[in-house]
Chain A
Amino acid sequence: GAGVSQTPSNKVTEKGKYVELRCDPISGHTALYWYRQSLGQGPEFLIYFQGTGAADDSGLPNDRFFAVRPEGSVSTLKIQRTERGDSAVYLCASSQDREAGELFFGEGSRLTVL
């Protein structure tokens, strides 16, 4: 596909469960970002990858959140022991490896923790 693909588009889970959210970026984009958007807020930065490595994970809220990008393409955001406060839209974006590159977003994964 031509754009950023995120799966699942919707995920409903119970408090305490483990969740994985997947992002497939645009082919050739080395930069990949995860954001979280809660109601009434702007996208909140979680983590940024350059290639396979997490270049900046300062936005991950706690150690229940983890993200990987083992081959420098697809990324998975993993949330352990989910809490109701984790409910949000999780957005993934990718960008070319150049200064002032615009971000290309997926449609997001809406997570609801009951």
Chain B
Amino acid sequence: ILNVEQSPQSLHVQEGDSTNFTCSFPSSNFYALHWYRWETAKSPEALFVMTLNGDEKKKGRISATLNTKEGYSYLYIKGSQPEDSATYLCAEGPGGYQKVTFGTGTKLQVIP
């Protein structure tokens, strides 16, 4: 993996379904992995920043895991709600003192 890659590019789920998406990143020279939520007509907002292999973070119904050795992170949403509809971006880089590189995002649409 040379760049930050995300999959799927988009998905539609029914309200109440749980879902997850993937972020892959170069495992060499790893600093930190970021997840952001970007709602239409708003600015991207940070969900999590993770640095340690095996890290797991949770905020309400959203959680994320990190595997720095194999270079991937998963974002999970439990019991999706229409307000979860947004583009979810992951990014790699230390933030604060060096460049942060973003993936292309996963666009989630939750159908009521």
A-to-B contact residues, CB < 8 Å: 3-4, 31, 33, 35, 40-45, 48, 50, 55-56, 58-59, 91, 93, 95-108
Contact = CB atoms under 8 A, between A and B. Distances in A.
Contact of A107 (B42, B94, B95): B42
Interface string B64-99: 000000000000000000000000010100111111
Nearest to A99: B94
Contacts of B49: 100-102
Interface of B: 4, 6, 31-32, 34, 36, 41-46, 49, 51, 89, 91, 94-105
B89 to A, nearest CB: 6
A96 B49 CA distance: 13
Nearest to A41: B104
Most chain A beta-carbon neighbours within 10 Å: one of B34, B43, B46, B49: B43
Contact of A102 (B4, B46, B98, B101): B46
Given A98-B96, A99-B96, A42 B103 contact: yes
A4 B31 CA distance: 24
